[in-house]
Structure 1
Amino acid sequence: MKNYFKITLLICFAVQFGFAQVFSDKDINECNSRFSFAVEKNLSQKPIGDVIAEVGKTFLNTPYVAHTLEVTDTEQLVINFSGLDCTTFLETTFSLARCIKQNKTSFDDFRNELQVIRYRDGKIDKYPSRLHYFSDWIHNNIEKGLIKDVTKEIGGKPIKFKVNFMSENPHLYKHLKSNPEFVNEIKKQEKAINGRQYYYIPENEIEKVENKIQNGDLIALTTSDKGLDIGHVGIAVKMNDGKIHFMHAPLVGSKVQISEDSISDYVKKIKKHTGIIVLRANEI
C-alpha cells in the first residue's frame, strides 16, 4: 500500500450508528490538534466563515490523495487527515468548523458532524447514501440547514445539470462494479438532480461579484465535462491583496494550497471550469 496508508487502520464499530468507521491514531491526533489550535486562537467567537478559512489553512501542504473514501468493501465513514481530495478537504474543514462553533471538540463530535455532512440526511445506508454528486451535496445540506446557496442573490444565472456519469460508467467506481444493483439507485438520484434549478456565476462574471463573496464561503466550480455537474470544490479566502483567492486540494501530485491568482483568474485559466456556485455556512 502507498505510504499514506502505512498507518494501521482502526475499524471501530459504533453501536449507536450500526456501521464501521475507519481512521487511524494519527487522524485522532490531527483532529485534536485542530481543536487545540481553535482554543488557542479563540476561534469559537469568530464568524463561522472565518473559522472555516482559518481551519482550512491548517491543512496547507497536505498531500492530495485520490479515492480516499474507497478503501473498504462496504460503505463506511472513512477519515483521513493525511491525504485529501478536494471534497474531503472541504468536508473535513467544514465539519471541524461546525464543531468549534458549537464547542463540541472531541473526536467523536467530529465523526458525528462529518457523517451528517457527507451522507444523505446524515445517515449511512450503503454506497448510494453518500452524496456523490456535489450538486446533490448542496441540495441535501441546504435541507439540513447547514448551508445557504447565495449564488442567485449575488448575481447568479440559472443552470440545469444533466448528470449521468456515474450510471453510465459504473466500471469506474469500485462499489458500482461489485454491486450493480446500486446503479438504479444512482440513476434515481441523477434524475432528481436533473429536475432541480440551480444558479451559477459564469466565469466571465466572477470578477464583478467578487466583493460579494465572503471569507470562508464554500465554492463549487461548474464544469463542461459531459455527464457531470461540479468539477472541483474549495474554500474562498480573502487575502492581503483584498481579493478572494481559492483554497483547495488541486490534483494528484500536488498539495492543499491557496491559488496565487484571484478566484476569477483561477477559474478562467482552466478550460473545463465554466463558473462557480457560492455557498455560505449558516451561523450556529
Structure 2
Amino acid sequence: MMKRRHILHLGLLSTGSALLPAAEFLPQSTTFIGADRFQQIVARALAENWAGLPMGERVARFGLAMRGTKYVAWTLEIDDRVESPSANFNGLDCWTFFETALGLARMIAKRQRSYTPSDLLQQIEWTRYRGGVCNGNYLDRIHYLDEWFTDNAARGNIRNVTGSVGPLVRLTGRANDEMSLNPRLYRYLQANPALVPALSRIEKQLERVPFDFIPKAQVAGCEPRIRSGDILGIVTNRPHVFCSHVGLAVRMEDGVCRFMHASATQKRVIVDKSVHEYLNAFKSHAGIVVGRPV
C-alpha cells in the first residue's frame, strides 16, 4: 500500500479549521522544479506586500510574475505510477500556469516570514485533487476543467460567476471522454491501462452534470464584468471534451481585459489579446466559463 509522506511543515488550508501536512509521495527533486525561481517570485511578493491585494489582483500579479516562462506540455505527467502534487517554475502548460498562480496567491494569504516548496505543494494538492486530497493515485487528480470548476466551487475555493458575467447557453449532446479514448497520450494511462475503465466511469458522471457557458459572440459585451485574476476556461467546438484551454484574465494599464496564458503557439506564458479577440482568432473556440478565486 502506498504511504503518504507527511512533510513536517504544517499549513492552514482554505477551510481555516484544520492544519494538515502536505502530501508528497515522490521526492521534491521530481515534484518541485525551479525552486530558485519560486523563491525569487515569493521574495518580490513579500517585498511588495502582494498578500495585501484583493484575491483576484493577487492571482493576476503572480501570473504576470511568470510571464515569459517556457511552455512545456504534459508538465503534470511526472511518473509512470505514483501521483503526487507538483510544481514546475521552469516550464508551464495552460493548466499548471493558472493553478500555480492560484496556489501562490492562496499560499501567501497565510502570512509568514518565508515559504517553502511544501507550502505551495500543499495548496496545489488542495485545488488539483478531488476533494482536496491526493492519496498517490492518478485518478485522485481532477483531469477535466469542468470538474475542476465544480469541485473547487463546491469547496469554496472559487465562485463560478459565469452566469453573472454574461448570457449562458447549455452545452448538450457532447461526450466528455477525450482521455479514455486516447490513453496512449497520457504517461500514467500508458503504464497502467487498467485505470482506463475507472476513468471512463468518471467521464460518464461528468457528462451528466449541466454545463453552461458564455458564447464567444457575447464575450466582448461581457468583458467589463470580468476581473483580473478570474480563471477563464476556453470552451471548445471539438468533440469529446468541453474545455480545451485555460488561462487568467488580466486588466492592463490601458484598461483592456486580456487573456494571460501559457501559449502552445507562442511557446511561453504571454499576455495575449483581449479576451474576445483571442476567442475570435480560433474557429474551434466556442466561448468561456469564468471562475473567481475567493
Output the TM-score relative to the length of structure 1.
0.89
Q: What is the CA-CA distance between 1:167 and the residue it aligns to?
A: 1.3
Q: Paired residue for 1:30, among 28, 34, 37?
A: 37
Aligned to 1:61: 68
Structure 1: runs of 5 or more not aligned: 1-11
| Aligned residue identity for 1:32 | Q
The answer to whether the Cα contact below 8 Å between 1:247 and 1:258 also exists between their aligned partners in 2 is yes
| Aligned residue identity for 1:137 | W
Query: Would you say 1:279 and 2:286 are equivalent positions?
Result: no
Task: Give aligned pairs, total.
Answer: 270
Query: In 1, Cα distance between the equivalents of 2:24 and 2:69?
Result: 31
Q: What is the CA-CA distance between 1:78 and the residue it aligns to?
A: 2.5
Query: Would you say 1:140 and 2:148 are equivalent positions?
Result: no
Output the TM-score relative to the length of structure 2.
0.86
In the superposition, relative to structure 1, how do residues 198 and 242 fare at CA in structure 2: closer, same or farther (>3 Å)?
Answer: same
Aligned to 2:200: 187
Q: What is the CA-CA distance between 1:21 and the residue it aligns to?
A: 4.4
Query: In 1, Cα distance between the equivalents of 2:85 and 2:73?
Result: 16
Aligned to 2:26: 20
SS in 1 for 2:263: coil
In the superposition, relative to structure 1, how do residues 196 and 174 fare at CA in structure 2: closer, same or farther (>3 Å)?
Answer: same
Query: In 1, Cα distance between the equivalents of 2:241 and 2:259?
Result: 21
| Aligned residue identity for 2:60 | A
Q: What is the CA-CA distance between 1:93 and the residue it aligns to?
A: 0.6
SS in 2 for 1:233: strand
Query: Would you say 1:243 and 2:256 are equivalent positions?
Result: yes
The answer to whether the Cα contact below 8 Å between 2:51 and 2:58 also exists between their aligned partners in 1 is yes
SS in 1 for 2:189: helix
Among all aligned residue pairs of Structure 1 and Structure 2, give the percentage whose two residues are the same amino acid: 32
Q: What is the CA-CA distance between 1:18 and the residue it aligns to?
A: 6.2
In the superposition, relative to structure 1, how do residues 65 and 252 fare at CA in structure 2: closer, same or farther (>3 Å)?
Answer: farther
SS in 1 for 2:164: coil
Q: What is the CA-CA distance between 1:27 and the residue it aligns to?
A: 2.5
Q: What is the CA-CA distance between 1:71 and the residue it aligns to?
A: 2.7
Aligned to 2:282: 270
In the superposition, relative to structure 1, how do residues 93 and 163 fare at CA in structure 2: closer, same or farther (>3 Å)?
Answer: same
Aligned to 1:72: 79
Q: What is the CA-CA distance between 1:90 and the residue it aligns to?
A: 0.6
Query: Would you say 1:113 and 2:103 are equivalent positions?
Result: no
In the superposition, relative to structure 1, how do residues 253 and 243 fare at CA in structure 2: closer, same or farther (>3 Å)?
Answer: closer
The answer to whether the Cα contact below 8 Å between 1:219 and 1:233 also exists between their aligned partners in 2 is yes
Query: In 1, Cα distance between the equivalents of 2:89 and 2:279?
Result: 27
Query: In 2, Cα distance between the equivalents of 1:23 and 1:280?
Result: 32
Query: In 1, Cα distance between the equivalents of 2:212 and 2:110?
Result: 30
Query: In 2, Cα distance between the equivalents of 1:142 and 1:236?
Result: 18
Structure 2: runs of 5 or more not aligned: 8-20
